[in-house]
Each structure stands twice: as C-alpha cells, then as structure tokens.
Amino acid sequence: MARKYETKGKQLVSRVIPVENFDLVIFGGTGDLARRKILPGLFRRFRSGQMPDDARIIGAARSDLDSKGYRAEIKSALEEFVSSKYRPEDAVDGFLERIEYVAIDAMGDGGWKELKSLMRDGVVKAFYFSVAPSLFGPLAERLHDFKIADRDSRIVVEKPFGRDLESARALNKTLRDSFEEDQIYRIDHYLGKETVQNLMAVRFGNMLFEPLWNSKYVDHVQITVAEEVGVDGRGAYYDRSGAMRDMVQNHLMQLLCLIAMEPPSRFDPDAVRDEKLKVIRALDPVASRDIVRGQYTSSKKGEGYLEQVENPDSQTESFIAMKLHISNWRWSGVPFFLRTGKRLKARQSEISIIFKDTPHSIFGDDSGGSQNVLAIRLQPNEGITLSVTIKEPGPGGMRLVDVPLDMTFADALGPDAEDVPDAYERLIMDVIRGNQTLFMRGDEVEAAWAWTDPLIEGWASKGDRPSPYDVGSTGPEEAAILLHRDGRRWREIRS
Ligand code: NAD
C-alpha cells in the first residue's frame, strides 16, 4: 500500500505502510546509479519504516569485494548523497546490517552459485539491472538458467531500452524468453515523480479539469525538460543517442501520454498502459519543418558539445523542439510542443496546459489578463500552479491581472519536504508490491520507437545538421520561431 498523507493544520503529514518482505539484488551495485539514487533511496525507505525488518539488499557487481567492504562503500555513498539531518547513525547501522555482496560476472559463470545460495524462499525476489544495456540479456538468461528466479520474481530494467525498434524488439524477446511480461519492470524515473502522479490525481480526481481537457478548451500544450548540465562524462554514450533517443522517445513521450490519454477505467497497470499506448499510436508523423534540432556551442558559460565528444564533426542533437499532433477526437487541432536540451539557461522541467482565450472579453480588449495556464513543475520546486485572471485591486475601473493559485509541494509538506520519496525509491517499492502501473510495457516502448525511428533515419539520410545554440541560452532561434509562426511563444525558462 502507498504512503499516505494526512492533514495537520495546513500541512500534509505522511503515513508509511510497510511492504512485503523481500530480497533485492542490485546488479551493478557498485555503479554510479546505485550509489547516487538506488541505495540512498532504499535507505530512506528503511528509515521511514517501509522496509520490513528482515528485508535484504544484495549488491552484485564485478568488483572483488566482500560484504564488509561493500557496506563500507555504501556507508560513504550515503554520506555523500543523504543529508546528515536525515542520516542518524543508528539508522545507517541498521540499514547496513541488511546488506550483502556477491562478486559476479554477468557474462560468465562466476558468482552465480553463491548468489543462489543467498536467496531465500518465501520472500519477494527482485533483481535490479543497473548495468550497461548489453548485460540485460545475459543477466536474464543466467537468472533463469541457474534457477535463481521463480515465477513470482521481478526484474527491473534501466534505460536505455534499445536504440531503435529492432533492438528494442530483440531485447523484449530475450527478456521474455526467461520472464513473463508481468515480471518485467522497465523503469522510467519520470513516472515516479510526485508531480507526475499528481498530474493523474489532478485530472482524474477532480471534476474541475477533465471537462476542459480537450480541443474545445485547450489551445496548446508545452512540455519542457531543460537541463543545465552537458554531456559531461557520458559523451561516448550520448553521442550515439542524442536528445531524441535519450529523452524524447522515453521521458517526454511518457509525459505526453499521461496528459493526452483517455481516463482509464481503473488505476491499474494494464488499464493505464492501454490508454497510453493508444496515444502513441495516434501520433501523426512529424513534418521536418515542425522539428528543430540543436547542438550547443561554446560561450562565456562553457565549452561546446564538439569539444566534449570524440567526433569533431558530430551531427548529434543536444537539443530538440517539435510540434506534434494527436489524431483523435479529443485532441484534433491542438498542437503539443515538446522541447528538451542540454546546457540550457536553467534546469527546469514543466508541463503546461494553455487554455483558450475567453470567447469574448466583456471588459474590453486592453483590460489585461491572459489565458489560463495549468503548469505542472517537475523540477525544481515540484508543484502545480493554475494561473487565473482576477481584477487588479483598487479603484479606477476593471483592469485584469493574472495571479497564480500555487500548490508547491515544499510548502504543503512543510519541514519534511526534503524527505518526500524520490522517484527511484517510490518505483522500487512499487516493484516489491508488484505494481506495474508506473512502468513501461513492452508494446509501449516498441510503439514509441516505431514513431521515433523514421524521424531519426530521415535526418541521417538527408545529412541534417543541428542548429547551433550558445551554452546558457534557451536553445536555437528556430525553436522560438516554431511557436512564433503560430502566434504562440514558449513559456520562459527561468534561471
Ligand atoms: P556504472 O558504469 O557506474 O556501473 C556499472 C556497474 O556494472 C558496476 O557496478 C560494475 O561493476 C557492473 N558491471 C560491469 N560489467 C559487469 C559484468 N560483466 N558483470 C557484473 N557486473 C558488471 O553505470 P551506471 O551509471 O550506474 O549505469 C547503470 C545503468 O543505469 C545503465 O544502464 C545506465 O544507462 C542506467 N542509467 C544510469 C543513470 C545514471 O545517472 N548513472 C541514469 C539513468 C540510467
């Protein structure tokens, strides 16, 4: 069951309900993701009382360590990634007691018998593949061949899930040779964010919005995922992917689906995922004039993309903006503008629903006020804002202003805001509960690649070159023109 919030005065107070007992194996348990996200997240779940006393975490990686050495590594990871206020010593000690380690070779036979001997019967067995994608298949096969996993076991698969339709199909097939679809949890951490789930609560838990959620009342939708960081140490991987594969095919597509989908009949995994799949299948092909690709170039704020990757003539995009249409009754004629990029002015992720103007202004055209906007902020300062038009206070006629009705979670949750579960810990607890609602199904991933592939192939065959944009800017000028053309503009990226 989920963590619950109750109200205390104006603030929401959380209540935590423990999950079933489990053995969680983290393949790649010494890697960057495990140290930064997975283990700190599990520690917070342990400290909150959500992990049963007897639950166990088994790190499995290539490093030649024993459990004692691994615990020391985890301790230092917690010191680095959990603030001291939330890291009391007794909680750290209690957490470390639940940790074991096996040195394992995903491509060979070393370590597998030892892992098998560590696993217990009668508890949920989950296996997190936090390793390079080339190891996903070999891990699944070995878990099956060594009879470590059973019919109730779950595997968690990191991104990227393939690099095109063909490789995603092949990976789905390999995983399904050893596991059923209901055992495979393809992670997209955007779906684990508090606000993203709140988007569904806002849409389907209130009478207020859903009647307006269609082409009659919505002018357009914007999804922005702006990053301040560049490719940094990931240049080799990123240069083979680009923004389309790394961000649009998965994260932005998932957000788009949640906004555009029809109300599922129940909040259950297949009901939700069936509706998301219909959205992807209803996407129109995108005309090349509706896509802008960009690549950051050096400015006072830092060095350019080409200085950070090996190929000095790379045509990989670090920015993409596009205008999409969904061919169905609800969204006919409503453009969805997507934009994501690296080394932009600020880190900001936001989904905005921009409603149409009132059909007639009784206050006169120059009275002020503009369209209503429902903005869902994913980062920073997770929260939801609805901008509404009211009268400017004071005498002197009917002048209108826009004011935000603001629900910033940090304010609503008060001093415990920093302690709200982050995406990874929430999703891992869902794996233990056996709830796949916030994980991508195999057919969804394939449908997203089927839509993405022709666009990527088109750029390659035409030798399309990305437009330059300065480090620290809001992206190439062409991205602004994409909206200006229609008399619209992007919402501001604020630093
Ligand atoms: P990493 O390179 O830091 O760690 C890789 C881990 O895999 C190490 O623990 C290593 O010991 C283990 N490993 C390598 N070869 C092995 C083998 N033959 N047998 C057993 N273990 C082996 O990688 P990472 O950054 O932690 O990323 C892990 C996965 O998570 C990747 O699929 C990546 O795409 C995905 N991911 C990472 C991030 C991130 O922020 N780091 C974000 C999103 C997705």
Identify whether 175 is part of a domain: no
Identify whether 229 is part of a domain: yes
Identify which has the larger pLDDT, 129 or 388.
Answer: 129
Q: Report whether pLDDT(453) > 70.
A: yes
Tell me the mean pLDDT in the region 132-157. Answer: 96
> What are the Cα distances from residue 209, in Å, to 212, 261, 282, 287, 327?
5, 14, 22, 31, 21
pLDDT, tens digit (0-9, with 9 covering 90-100), for 161-175: 999 999 999 999 999
Q: Report whether pLDDT(5) > 50.
A: no
Tell which one of 32, 131, 139, 232 to mutate to probe ligand 1, the residue whose CB is within 8 A of the most ligand atoms. Answer: 131
pLDDT, tens digit (0-9, with 9 covering 90-100), for 65-80: 999 999 999 999 999 9
If asked whether residues 153 and 215 sit together in one domain, one would say: no
Tell me the mean pLDDT in the region 459-464. Answer: 91
Q: Could you tell me if residue 241 is left (phi over 0), alpha (psi between -120 and 50 degrees) or otherwise beta? A: alpha
Identify whether 428 is part of a domain: no
If asked whether residues 236 and 124 sit together in one domain, one would say: no
**Domain extent for 86:** 22-158
Identify whether 436 is part of a domain: no
Ligand 1 center to 128 CA (angstroms):
11
Q: Domain containing 113 — which CATH number? A: 3.40.50.720
If asked whether residues 246 and 292 sit together in one domain, one would say: yes
If asked whether residues 37 and 138 sit together in one domain, one would say: yes
If asked whether residues 91 and 154 sit together in one domain, one would say: yes
Identify which has the larger pLDDT, 420 or 258.
Answer: 258
Are the CB atoms for 2 and 17 separated by under 8 Å?
A: yes
**104 Cβ inside 6 Å of ligand 1:** yes
Tell me the mean pLDDT in the region 359-369. Answer: 83
Q: Report whether pLDDT(365) > 80.
A: no
If asked whether residues 228 and 101 sit together in one domain, one would say: no
Residues involved in catalysis: 251
Identify whether 185 is part of a domain: no
Ligand 1 center to 207 CA (angstroms):
44
If asked whether residues 74 and 211 sit together in one domain, one would say: no
If asked whether residues 153 and 207 sit together in one domain, one would say: no
Full-model pTM:
0.94
- Cα–Cα dist 482/260, whole Å: 21
If asked whether residues 397 and 475 sit together in one domain, one would say: yes
What 3-state class would DSSP assign to 6? strand
- What confidence score (pLDDT) does residue 379 get? 87
Identify whether 207 is part of a domain: yes
What 3-state class would DSSP assign to 69? helix
Q: Domain containing 368 — which CATH number? A: 3.30.360.10
Nearest residue to 241 (alpha-carbon basis) of 18, 474, 452: 452
- Residue-averaged pLDDT of the chain: 92
- Cα–Cα dist 40/36, whole Å: 7
pLDDT, tens digit (0-9, with 9 covering 90-100), for 478-487: 999 999 999 9
Counted domains in the chain: 2
The C-alpha torsion from 338 through 341 and 345 to 350, rounded to 10°, is: 40
Identify whether 186 is part of a domain: no
Nearest residue to 124 (alpha-carbon basis) of 447, 463, 429, 459: 429
Q: Report whether pLDDT(23) > 80.
A: yes
Sequence-distant (6+) residues with CB within 8 A of 451 are 253, 280, 283
Nearest residue to 169 (alpha-carbon basis) of 466, 420, 444, 475: 444
**Which of 158, 174, 200 is at the close of a domain?**
158
Identify whether 13 is part of a domain: no
- What confidence score (pLDDT) does residue 414 get? 65
If asked whether residues 291 and 354 sit together in one domain, one would say: yes
Given CA atoms 256, 262, 268, 270 in this order, what sign does their dihedral have?
negative
**139 Cβ inside 6 Å of ligand 1:** no
